[in-house]
A = this chain, B = another copy of it.
Amino acid sequence: MANEFAARTSVEQVEEGAELAPKFDADGLIPAVTTDANSGEVLMVGYMNAEALRKTIETGEAHYWSRSRQVLWHKGATSGLVQKVVELMIDDDQDCVWLKVGVEGSGASCHVGYRTCFYRRIPIGKASKRLEFTETEKVFDPKVVYGDAPNPTKL
């Protein structure tokens, strides 16, 4: 498989063509939305650099660029929660990808221990902005899975 992506030469090529010509941002990254191929839930939003996108395409397993750790991140290498890519989509201007995945192991994708990273709801049109939990129990214990690895959440 050729490792190079196509150069971006026109809006028509990018929007209406069949060439893969992704646009990476100033940090060399493209956002990646990951949904559960069965439930349709959004599990997480990560980022890929060119290498992570190539590895994902070549291996069929989700790779990201970890912004907190600044390393190529084969999702599940530590936790066992590998994401098998069922379908990989790219958007109109090719600056974002969407992965539909099956998750091995407990089926979870969130480092906090929940199934999805989106386990809290923001109330709409109400006086209160208090978040409402939509998952009430963790699927796994992050201390057991990750041990003393630093928490990726940054303030």
Query: Interface residues, chain A, CB within 8 Å of chain B?
Result: 1-2, 5, 8-11, 14-20, 23, 31, 33, 35, 40-42, 44-45, 56-60, 85, 87-93, 96-98, 110-112, 114, 117-127, 129-134, 151-155
Distance of A110 Cα from B110 Cα, bound (Å): 29
Nearest B residue to A120 via CB reads B90
- Residues on the B chain within 8 Å of A35, using CB: 35, 40, 42
- Name the residue among A16, A19, A44, A89 with the largest chain B CB count within 10 angstroms: A89
> What are 30 sample pairs from A and B whose C-beta atoms fall under 8 A apart?
A1-B126, A1-B127, A5-B129, A10-B155, A14-B153, A14-B155, A15-B153, A18-B120, A18-B131, A19-B131, A20-B129, A20-B131, A31-B45, A33-B33, A40-B40, A42-B89, A57-B122, A57-B123, A59-B125, A60-B124, A85-B124, A88-B122, A88-B124, A90-B120, A90-B131, A91-B117, A92-B111, A92-B112, A92-B114, A97-B122
